[in-house]
Amino acid sequence: MTYLVWKDSMNTGIHVIDNQHKRIVDMINELHEAQQGQEKEAVSNVIEELIDYTLSHFAFEETLMEDAQYQFSRAHKKIHELFIRRVEQYRTRFEQGEDVGDQLKELLSRWLINHICNDDVDYVKSVRRNMHELLEDKGWLSGAMKRFFG
């Protein structure tokens, strides 16, 4: 049974970001399934993957915001840092033998939806404009293509 369902209202309109968010939703559901099967090792693996993936997603998102010169990128990064500290506390508690799966799922679900619909929506306009400008800059694009693909 699915714990969290992706809704179109959660889309930012930035395809790569939406796909990353959807992957986080999938991992929350994987955590739920591992819990249902009472597989401690599977729960541990999903928690580790969730944390690692979320960290890389945050880094990617922060880079997009900085490249777009989004005026609130430092504040957004601070929100990410606070969330990471909180999730790290759950990981530590889990490693010490505490069953934190339900609490972690609840936190991740509430936080993710709130963050996407409230915090992430604020940077979308800046990032999309920057992405559009980069794609229109034929000199930049052709130079990048030559560097990466010869």
pLDDT over 70 at 144, yes or no = no
| Separation CA 27–CA 144 (nearest Å) | 33
Q: Residue 147: what pLDDT?
A: 59
pLDDT over 70 at 31, yes or no = yes
Q: Residue 141: what pLDDT?
A: 56
| Separation CA 123–CA 76 (nearest Å) | 9
Q: Please state the rounded mean pLDDT for residues 130-147.
A: 64
pLDDT over 60 at 145, yes or no = no
Per DSSP, the chain holds a count of helices (H) and strands (E) of 6, 0
> Does residue 61 have a known ligand-binding role?
yes
User: For 46-85, what is each residue's pLDDT tens digit?
Assistant: 889 988 998 999 999 999 999 899 999 999 999 999 999 9
> What are the structure tokens assigned to 69, written together?
């010169």
Q: Please state the rounded mean pLDDT for residues 80-100.
A: 91
Q: pLDDT: is 147 or 29 the higher one?
A: 29
Of 6-10, 130-134, 145-149, least confident by mean pLDDT is: 145-149
Q: Please state the rounded mean pLDDT for residues 23-31.
A: 93
> Does residue 62 have a known ligand-binding role?
no
> Does residue 76 have a known ligand-binding role?
yes
Q: How far is CA 31 from CA 67, 73, 86, 120, in A?
A: 33, 30, 18, 24
DSSP-assigned letter for residue 14: -
Residue identified by tokens 């986080």 is 24
Q: Residue 29: which residues within 8 A CB-CB, separation 6 or more?
A: 2, 3, 4
* Angle value at C-alpha 132, between 127 and 134, nearest 5 degrees: 95
Domains along the sequence of the chain with CATH: 14-149 (1.20.120.50)
pLDDT over 60 at 97, yes or no = yes
User: For 99-136, what is each residue's pLDDT tens digit?
Assistant: 898 998 999 899 889 988 888 888 999 988 888 776 66
> Does residue 15 have a known ligand-binding role?
no
Q: Residue 39: what pLDDT?
A: 81
Q: How far is CA 88 from CA 65, 68, 71, 106, 132, in A?
A: 24, 29, 28, 15, 36
